[in-house]
């Protein structure tokens, strides 16, 4: 099958569930084969994520320690100063990151806050790093301003399936997410959009989430697959732990239905064994977040990741590299 034929926008939930139900070895083989058609199999993009405004978010996402609805002991921080962000970006670059992501716990940014974020984007780009921000919902003109500032990617996850969405969040609707993605796409920005595994959803829900992403007019250029981090004080603190092979299967199916996307092994890596991460890379994950913190949750430190890459013969992907 040609590369062009692999890019589909007509997936059904049943077809994707069939992929989830394949024998494990067959699924990994298919995913690894697709991966090699579009990417170098021994390269992983290294990204760093910084929380530039922490806590007091008015949304009630049940997984999120930054929600003002839950008492998680998180220390609320105002929007960071520009120089602080630039210094963090320099540290990330020195540690090997080629992509710098900035996250702010807002429902939607005010224009005066967006002015400050744009300054951050401008300065980080001067360092030669890819830039990504996640600021909540965006209006069309806000997305356009970020594009004009040179932003590379905008992250706005759909989190789960449309059918399960109301079980996770009540303060916004699934269509609100899709509208922000449309605004970002229309502005010409790269879309970073994925979801979370382990919130009590079914395999059908995981399939439906991936169907939504695969059937967008353009596949998201970046797809973070997060494993739920169970944070004390959130409604999901006692949620059942995700089985390692379920996470690997989700990565593999994402690679098959989104063949040209960067599939990002995101939150939850600190709870994964090296062997699980190795299987995720084999299944088509080709990006990780690097550094001790992932917004407000723990992440493996750079030294551990460097050792893991060495064991696996994995090399960091060069800056501004992507699908073949």
Any idea which residues carry the catalytic annotation? 57, 61, 64, 101, 132, 192, 264
Q: Please, which residues have CB within 8 angstroms of residue 118's CB and are 6 or more apart in sequence?
A: 145, 146, 149
Q: Which two tokens stand for residue 123?
A: 């300065």
Residue 315: count of CB within 10 angstroms of its CB: 13
How far apart, in whole angstroms, are the C-alpha atoms of residue 126 and residue 80? Answer: 19
146 three-class SS:
helix
Tell how strand 99-104 and strand 43-53 pair up: parallel
88 three-class SS:
helix
Q: What is the DSSP letter of 170?
A: S
Helix axes 140-148, 174-186, angle to 10 degrees: 40
Task: Enumerate long-range contacts of 168-175, CB under 8 Å, 24 or more apart.
Answer: 168/61, 168/62, 168/63, 168/199, 169/59, 169/60, 169/61, 169/62, 170/60, 171/58, 171/59, 171/60, 171/61, 171/107, 172/59, 172/107, 172/137
Tell how strand 293-294 and strand 297-298 pair up: antiparallel
Q: Please, which residues have CB within 8 angstroms of residue 289's CB and are 6 or more apart in sequence?
A: 47, 48, 49, 101, 264, 266, 267, 269, 299
Q: Which two tokens stand for residue 43?
A: 């390269």
Closest CA to 210 of 4, 17, 5: 17
Q: Which two tokens stand for residue 110?
A: 């005010």
43 three-class SS:
strand
Closest CA to 192 of 180, 208, 205, 174: 180
């Amino acid at each position: 099958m040609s590369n062009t034929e692999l890019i589909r926008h007509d997936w059904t939930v049943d077809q994707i569930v069939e992929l989830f139900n394949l024998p494990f070895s067959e699924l990994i083989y298919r995913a690894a084969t697709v991966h090699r058609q579009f990417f170098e199999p021994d390269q992983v993009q290294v990204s760093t994520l910084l929380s530039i405004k922490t806590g007091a978010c008015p949304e009630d996402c049940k997984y999120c320690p930054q929600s003002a609805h839950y008492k998680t002991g998180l220390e609320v921080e105002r929007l960071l100063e520009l120089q602080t962000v630039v210094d963090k970006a320099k540290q990330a670059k020195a540690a090997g990151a080629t992509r710098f992501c900035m996250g702010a716990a807002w429902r939607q940014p005010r224009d005066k806050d967006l002015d400050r974020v744009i300054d951050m984007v401008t300065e980080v780009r001067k360092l030669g790093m890819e830039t990504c921000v996640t600021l909540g919902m965006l209006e069309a003109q806000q997305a356009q301003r970020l594009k004009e500032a040179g932003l590379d990617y905008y992250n706005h996850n759909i989190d789960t399936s449309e059918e399960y969405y109301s079980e996770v969040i009540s303060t916004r609707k699934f269509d609100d997410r899709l509208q922000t993605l449309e605004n970002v796409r229309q502005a010409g920005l790269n879309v970073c959009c994925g979801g979370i595994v382990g919130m009590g959803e079914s395999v059908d829900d995981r399939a439906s989430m991936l169907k939504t992403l695969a059937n967008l007019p353009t596949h998201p250029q970046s797809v973070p697959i997060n494993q739920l981090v169970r944070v004390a004080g959130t409604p999901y603190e006692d949620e059942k732990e995700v089985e390692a092979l379920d996470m690997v299967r989700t990565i593999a199916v994402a690679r098959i239905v989104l063949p040209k996307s960067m599939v990002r092994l995101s939150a939850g890596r600190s709870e994964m064994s090296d062997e699980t991460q190795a299987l995720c890379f084999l299944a088509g994950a080709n990006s990780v977040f690097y550094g001790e913190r992932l917004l407000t949750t723990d992440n493996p430190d750079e030294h551990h990741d460097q050792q893991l890459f060495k064991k696996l013969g994995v090399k960091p992907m060069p800056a501004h590299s992507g699908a073949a």
